[in-house]
Amino acid sequence: MTRLLGTLLLAMALPASAHHGWSEYEQDKPLTLNGKVVGSGYEHPHGFIRLETPGKTWVVVLAPPSRMQARGLPPEAIKPGAQVSVVAYANRSKAEEARAERITADGKTVELR
């Protein structure tokens, strides 16, 4: 019985450890990224955009779709071709990735955190 309980607890903990948090990002060094969306996903667990900025294309991790929708950021606002501005933090180990704190799209600023 104890072995079964231990296995169940471990199985429940694995999804939580697979979810990446804010500790992977340089939270003390905010970036303001302005550019054109060249790809996007409004999907779980987090939405994302591929943002073409001068000199670099970033993969910007956004909030979960339910949060984006509730705060007024519909999928159409981040479709390819959209011009956006993002306040984000670079990933500590993935040079092309950042996580968004807020995004301005279609003239509206949305807090994502």
| Residue ranges covered by each domain of the chain | 2-111
pLDDT, tens digit (0-9, with 9 covering 90-100), for 51-99: 999 999 999 999 999 999 999 999 999 999 999 999 999 999 999 999 9
Higher-pLDDT residue of 20, 26: 26
Q: Name the average pLDDT for the chain.
A: 87
Strand ranges for the chain from DSSP E? 25-41, 48-53, 56-61, 83-91, 97-105, 108-111
The pLDDT-based confidence of 21 (bands split at 50, 70, 90) is confident
2-111: CATH number: 2.40.50.140
Question: For the whole model, what pTM was predicted?
Answer: 0.81
What residues contact 105, with CB distance under 8 A and at least 6 apart? 73, 77, 78, 82, 84
Nearest to 45 by CA among 14, 67, 74: 67
